Structure 1
Amino acid sequence: MQCRGPVSLAPDAHHVAGSLWAGFAELHPRDWLAQLLQRRLCDLMATGGSNPARWAAISVFAVGSAGLLARQSPRLTLRAARGRCRAGPRAPVGPRSTPDSRQRGGPRPLERLGRLRRGNPAATWQWNQYCRDEGNGTYDARRHPESFVEEFLERHEQGLLPHVQLAKKGLLKRITDVLEASNVCRMSPGPAGLVSIRHAPGTGPPT
């Protein structure tokens, strides 16, 4: 894997990069998903891997479902279902600092959601999945509090929502099969919809 910029990542980030890249992209270098993962990993390496939200976006995209909590390492735990990262001292995550629509002075969440869905059919699919999983099956945005819509928009902007192509083409199983076949890690179901990712001994970051 060849990237420009510094590549001195924290060990936790190395575990994530190793499992994603060595397990999938290295075995499928011409695959569109592998190329996308490579670009995202390179972008992170250029910044020293200091942005946990971007690691979350990569992890969710690779796992293929924002309804899972993927344990990438003891220090980096991705709670995809809520679009939040919990990390250890190497990757601190402060309180939510993103201003809401009133602080920004921009359009309100309902208006932003309408524009997004009109211009992006995949966003409508993501909204329906989000409402089904976390909104009790209520799809009418007007029947949800503004904070619910705002949360969806934030997750969409950060790439923390399920990818429509992954869902339609069954790439989640494909990625899982490749990761396990390459002996990079094992994915096992746990309680309350958790998925535990256990790294194989000796698995390290790409070089």
Structure 2
Amino acid sequence: MSLDMDESVADGAAEPMPPPPSPPHRIGSDAEAIAAAQAVARIFAAGAAERDRDRRLPWGEIAAFTDSGLGGLTVPRAHGGAEVSYATLAEVFTILAAADGSAAQIPQNQFGVLALVAVAASPAQQARIYRDVLAGHRIGNAGPARNGKAITRVETRLTSGPAGPRLSGHRFYSTGALFAHWIPTRAVGPDGGLLLVFVRRDAPGVRVVDDWQGFGQRTTASGSVIFENAP
């Protein structure tokens, strides 16, 4: 697939990989979730202004979020998660965003994806994804097509062949992808149907480029994800 990208992205070096996941704390209740958010917010708040000024990405802060167990808040109890209420989830992000809006934005897509998993994934897919999240894997996002005419236009394509399915496309506004272990994205399948495709961050043919330039919230790393025949 021919990718329409600007020269700066084409020449940009791939960013560092996130460390391998390690088992986080397992949160068991709404009250524990609020307490964990308050503790993580103190970590987010320390040096938040300096990180934004110097554009230092919050790797340690995101690791603290994951280690706390907050990433698994909406995993159903049947799968070992806390399954907190939507009100609690909103309160958690209110607390975190008050401390550092950029760091709080990074994990938000994980919960959007998990909500879709709950209603659209097969039981086997749910079990796999929930298990990974509770084991410390982070889910990112590959946003709309780079230079696409509309956010709803899907130009990323999944093809099938002897080596298995392969994904090609260029996405932008991909908040969370840089820090993630799984990157989900919308794609058009071989039959023309729309799919949500999960790709490993460390898979061959996957490149995440921190070419984000925002006014405020400068450390969300919401830049490009490039898939080049990625499994």
TM-score normalised by the shorter chain: which range applies?
under 0.3
More helix per residue? 1
Name the TM-score, length of structure 2 as normaliser: 0.23
More strand per residue? 2
Which is bigger in relative contact order (C-alpha 8 A, separation at least 6)? 1
